[in-house]
Chains A and B, each alone.
Chain A
Amino acid sequence: MTKSPRSLARAAGLHKSGRRHLGERAIAALLFLAASVSIVTTLAVIVALSAETVAFFADPAVTFREFFTAREWTPLFPATQRVFGISPLIIGTLMVTSVALVVGLPLGLGSAIYLSEFASARTRRTVMPILEVLAGIPTVVLGYFALFFVTPILRDVVPGLNLFNPLSAGLVMGFMILPTISSISTDSMQAVPRSLREAGYGLGASRYEVVLKVVVPAALSGIVASFILAASRAIGETMIVTLAAGQKPTFTFDLRETIATMTSFIVQAATGDQPAGSIASRALYAVGATLFVMTLILNVVSQQVVRRFGERYE
């Protein structure tokens, strides 16, 4: 399409002066410049994270071994009491994420099956945008809801529950990731061709048997991809955990304890006025780099699942 009009014009003798060409070229260059902003952004993220992370590990107070094996994370303490072991933050993040997935996966998959297989087209058209609202609610609002509404109710039920805890944050986060799972899974189940379902019915299967034994397996790649994407969202979520789960890095697997996640530490370090170049400020970048790598791996895996295992029905 790029060549034909121009060569046609040339053949017809309509080829215009060079000035018009120059303008066209300048515009093409400008558009390419716009497109390259995304590449520059990626490079800048990598440079920012790696430069300060390298500086962090170059500091004599920090060792790789300590970073990965120590069970304490106290970069904001006075110099003599600092320990740099990221495990409390990773465990905190995984605890909140696990709760979110335990809540979000069944709810998301269930609603996707309902919307794709049982609901009428009209119900689907009304309910799906409303579910999307859940994904559109600012997370600071969900944090408020977790802290002031969910936590007080949970504290009546769960004995020994701290005011800040991963349970309440994870519960609300489960609803936050529900639309991600639900919409991607619905799409991939809707893409399963009618002929497969009909074949199932033809063999005498009932409706739920077709759903469970034909549709869900056929759409599995999309469903798994949505799970991974949801996990990545949960790991990177900041405001809900900062407000409702606390900012106290603790090496614990107890869902009732106050904890800190990677993201909530980043907020804590950033809002505490750490001077640029200090070890505390560099710790922020090191944690950010860890977070970035974890989410990037999950996102890439999620895309690969669709590409490798996705069945194409045409």
Chain B
Amino acid sequence: MSASPRQPSDAAARAGFGTPEERARLKRRKRIGRAFQALTAIPVVLALALIVTLFVDVITDTVSWQVVEPEESGVTWSFAEGARLGGTWEHLVRLELEARGEEPATVLDDPEERRKFRLRNRVELLWWVDGRPFRWAVTNSRDDTVDDVGLFRGLRERHEILAGLEDGQQLRLNPWFDAAFFRKNASRTPMMAGLQNALIGTLWVIGLVILIALPIGVGTAVYLEEYAADNRLTRFIEVNIRNLAGVPSIVYGILGLYAFVRLMNLGPTVLAAALTLALLILPVVVIASREAIKAVPSTLRQASYGLGATKWQTVSRIVLPNAVAGIVTGVILAVARAIGETAPLLLVGAAAFIPRAPDGPLSTYTVIPIQIYSWVAENDREFAHVASAGILALLIVLILLYVAAFWMRRRFERSW
């Protein structure tokens, strides 16, 4: 701005108008202006820096260097030795059992033994073991983790750590966010903890949330935009929805605990959680749907009525099809919010440990953010890696949803 010739004060200053004091004052004002502009840019830079820091912190925390004393064979295999099309797991379990001096068939062919083996062991591709890259290992829940070092510190100090290894110890670069992470469940051992049941739980809960919130939310929006008369009741509903949007999420949890878990006697189930979250996102769905419906020009409605269509025919065949992009965008954003909600579900009984994956609306459940919470609350360095792996999974899901919403808005945006 300072070099802009359009500012008369600039021209005046260059031309040497005014007394020296006036010119000095002008200079000072311009200096303050520049400083002020730079000052207001700082928060934006800070906020962007925080986002980047958070993502980098989460991602680097999903990898760690560990000094491990393996309980069993401690043998690792190169990537080529271990990988088999369609049967990597079987192949490595066989190799491991042979290395342990056991007969592979007794475990692999007996379903009960197989299940027990799965509960205690995990097939992993470690990025680095004692100087060799990409090694397969079968880890055991009783493996002793002697030390756990962050990615960057480990990179700097790995030679010292390697030199200090005792007999039977290995230095591993362990990626916590790997395929095995999605095939394991909550566990007291960090190495064995994973996200499978939580992922299934989130799918169940969110599926039901959409089934409940979508018809009610869109119905409310259609009622308010197309049917409601302009009276006190309508204004009350509008104000009420605006106020509901500002109610803290934990209060919805209290409502869910009182009404769904206890009064309706649903207990800590998928359905109770879905009902709670549906009420929580309802205001967002209503507000977004109303905006979308409002954007449909009234000439379209008039044309429909002119052709003899009834009100519902007009709404269902003209208004809603033209508003669908906006509605879907709003629902995606609302769902993104529901997926990350933790506090209300802590109240309606999401458990950190559940025996098996939910298989219906009335089964007990856990969801991704609840698992993350329980891992963070362990306040243990190894569990922090598990938590960051869970966070990475959650953030990836959310980013995909945001991109989908952004794409929908771009793709179907219409101007009338």
Is A161 engaged at the interface, CB distance under 8 Å to the other chain? no
- What's the Cα separation between A34 and B40 when bound, in Å? 45
In the complex, the answer to whether B40 meets A266 with C-beta atoms within 8 Å is: no
Closest chain A residue to B343, Cβ basis: A238
* Cβ contact of B223, chosen from A34, A140, A208, cutoff 8 A: A34
From A75-83, A252-260, A289-297, give the one contacting chain B: A289-297
* Cβ contact of A140, chosen from B8, B222, B342, B402, cutoff 8 A: B342
Is A107 engaged at the interface, CB distance under 8 Å to the other chain? yes
In the complex, the answer to whether B259 meets A239 with C-beta atoms within 8 Å is: no
| A111 touching B248 in the complex, CB below 8 Å, given contacts A144-B372, A270-B253 | no
In the complex, the answer to whether B283 meets A236 with C-beta atoms within 8 Å is: no
Contact with A along B228-260 (1 / 0, CB 8 A): 110000001100111110111111111101110
In the complex, the answer to whether A288 meets B44 with C-beta atoms within 8 Å is: no
- What's the Cα separation between A115 and B189 when bound, in Å? 48
Q: A interface, by DSSP: helix, strand, loop or mixed?
A: helix
In the complex, the answer to whether A113 meets B373 with C-beta atoms within 8 Å is: no
Q: How many residues of A contact B (CB 8 A)?
A: 96
| A41 touching B255 in the complex, CB below 8 Å, given contacts A35-B228, A106-B43 | yes
- What's the Cα separation between A145 and B58 when bound, in Å? 8
Min distance, Cβ B408 to any Cβ of chain A, angstroms: 14
Min distance, Cβ B380 to any Cβ of chain A, angstroms: 11
| A144 touching B346 in the complex, CB below 8 Å, given contacts A38-B244, A41-B255, A108-B43 | no
From B167-175, B203-211, B212-220, give the one contacting chain A: B212-220
- What's the Cα separation between A41 and B278 when bound, in Å? 11
From A44-52, A59-67, A84-92, give the one contacting chain B: A44-52
* Cβ contact of B39, chosen from A110, A129, A236, cutoff 8 A: A110
| A238 touching B39 in the complex, CB below 8 Å, given contacts A34-B219, A44-B255, A147-B376 | no
Is B310 engaged at the interface, CB distance under 8 Å to the other chain? yes
- What's the Cα separation between A286 and B237 when bound, in Å? 27
Is A198 engaged at the interface, CB distance under 8 Å to the other chain? no
Closest chain A residue to B36, Cβ basis: A208
In the complex, the answer to whether A41 meets B244 with C-beta atoms within 8 Å is: yes
Contacts of B279 in A (CB 8 A): 37, 41
Contact with B along A108-119 (1 / 0, CB 8 A): 101101110110
Closest chain B residue to A303, Cβ basis: B242
Is A20 engaged at the interface, CB distance under 8 Å to the other chain? yes
Min distance, Cβ B203 to any Cβ of chain A, angstroms: 17
In the complex, the answer to whether A208 meets B32 with C-beta atoms within 8 Å is: yes
Is A207 engaged at the interface, CB distance under 8 Å to the other chain? yes
Is B72 engaged at the interface, CB distance under 8 Å to the other chain? no
- What's the Cα separation between A2 and B254 when bound, in Å? 41
| A9 touching B376 in the complex, CB below 8 Å, given contacts A236-B250, A266-B250 | no
In the complex, the answer to whether B312 meets A42 with C-beta atoms within 8 Å is: no
Closest chain B residue to A30, Cβ basis: B219
In the complex, the answer to whether B255 meets A45 with C-beta atoms within 8 Å is: yes
- What's the Cα separation between A145 and B59 when bound, in Å? 12
In the complex, the answer to whether B246 meets A232 with C-beta atoms within 8 Å is: yes
From B74-82, B192-200, B333-341, give the one contacting chain A: B333-341
Closest chain B residue to A144, Cβ basis: B376
- What's the Cα separation between A29 and B103 when bound, in Å? 70
Is B117 engaged at the interface, CB distance under 8 Å to the other chain? no
Contact with B along A230-270 (1 / 0, CB 8 A): 00110111110011000000000000000000010011001
Contacts A/B (CB < 8 Å), 28 sampled: A2-B311, A27-B312, A28-B223, A35-B219, A35-B224, A37-B216, A38-B244, A38-B283, A38-B286, A41-B279, A44-B258, A49-B254, A51-B258, A52-B258, A111-B44, A137-B398, A141-B54, A144-B391, A206-B9, A206-B30, A208-B32, A208-B36, A209-B29, A229-B246, A243-B373, A266-B250, A267-B346, A276-B262
Contacts from B to A (Cβ < 8 Å): 1, 7-9, 29-30, 32-33, 36-37, 39-44, 46-48, 50-51, 53-54, 57-58, 61, 215-220, 222-224, 227-229, 236-237, 240-244, 246-255, 257-259, 262, 279, 282-283, 286, 298, 301, 305-306, 308, 310-312, 336-337, 339-343, 346-347, 369, 372-373, 376-377, 379, 384, 387-388, 391, 394-395, 398, 402, 406
Q: Which 7 A-B pairs have the closest CB atoms?
A: A236-B248, A138-B340, A34-B219, A5-B305, A48-B258, A238-B343, A114-B40
Contacts from A to B (Cβ < 8 Å): 1-2, 4-5, 8-9, 14, 20, 23-24, 27-28, 30-39, 41-42, 44-45, 48-49, 51-52, 106-108, 110-111, 113-115, 117-118, 127, 129-131, 133-134, 136-145, 147-149, 163, 175, 178, 182, 204, 206-209, 211-212, 229, 232-233, 235-239, 242-243, 263, 266-267, 270-271, 276, 284-285, 288, 291-292, 295-296, 299-300, 303
